[in-house]
Amino acid sequence: MRFEVLILGNSSATPVFERHPTAQIVNYNEQLFLIDCGEGTQMQLTRYGIKSNRIDHIFISHLHGDHYLGLVGLVSSMHLIGRKADLHIYGPAPLEEILTLHFKFSDTDIRYSIIYHCTNPDKEELIYTSRMMNISSFPLSHRIPCTGFRFDEGKRAASLKMDLIEQYAIPKPYFSALKKGIDYVDPSGKIYAASTLTTPGPRSRSYAFCSDTIRTSTYLSAIQQVDLLYHESTFLHEMQDRAKETFHTTALEAGEIAQEVNAQKLLLGHYSARYKSLTPLLEEARSVFPETELSTEGKWYLV
């Protein structure tokens, strides 16, 4: 099962140094989810070979422009290229009004259904569930209501012990049930335990996206023991006062958070336009959490 993240944009408020505002794709077994949609997102999708009509779920963390101003263009382009499938958008309640007003005054009649799901900026909530994926939103602490998102993989299927399968002549139509933990009963009534005929599946994986936030303990419970953590790291720690003033996080703080929640790996992002070279941010975060990487646009990261 593929579970990976493509960075489309990792800049903060303004696009600079070939870095674009926040946007990223989560690919789980070829189902694509878009997180945030800053300016130029649809161009980045094209650049990296992602067809927009494969995206059925879009998650918007908050209503600062660098996180959603590309949404009107993307939704409009989906309309122009003949989208028919429903589009689910998860984000702050005013987002529906913003899009509705735009389409009203541009005299645009979107030919597919947009289904809005309001996120809760005050508590953690499950906002999407399927057999193999649960997605939750959780409150962050920014200047305006803001949420992060966590993707948790469902229980992964067990593997068959083919030597025993062949020895006991288990019919192939029962393989799927065995992988799900359902025992096989042969025509004579003899029970073959699924636990005997299989080995446990791999450990389920998780990804958390922490958009704009000041460092606080309030959301740490929501990202405990995550495999891959994307966390904003707008400033170097020498600018901690500026980070607090603007409700952002430093690279050092991002590393400390990753360490505190026992993350397996940390991705830095949301870089301030003041930094052309990002190496100092990487070094700062690695000083407390060695398993840190800089997010790079166009690169896929395994969860």
DSSP state, 222?
Answer: G
How far, in Å, are 184, 224, 257 from residue 27 at the CA level?
Answer: 34, 22, 25
**E strand or H helix at 195, and its extent?**
helix 194-197
Bridge partners (DSSP) listed for residue 232 = 269
> Between β-strands 31-37 and 23-28, what pairing exists: parallel, antiparallel or unpaired?
antiparallel
d(CA 151, CA 223): 10
Could you confirm whether 212 is annotated as catalytic?
A: no
The residue count of the chain comes to 303
- DSSP symbols for 14-58: S-BTTB-BSEEEEEETTEEEEEEE-TTHHHHHHHTT--GGGEEEE
d(CA 232, CA 52): 25
SS3 content of the chain, % helix, strand, coil (to 5): 30, 30, 40
Give which of 52, 66, 53, 56 is closest to 23, Cα–Cα: 66
How far, in Å, are 94, 117, 131, 197, 273 from residue 97 at the CA level?
Answer: 5, 13, 32, 55, 30
Selecting among 36, 66, 152, 212, the annotated active-site residue is 66
CB atoms under 10 Å from CB of 215, counted, come to 20
Tell me which residues are annotated as active site.
66
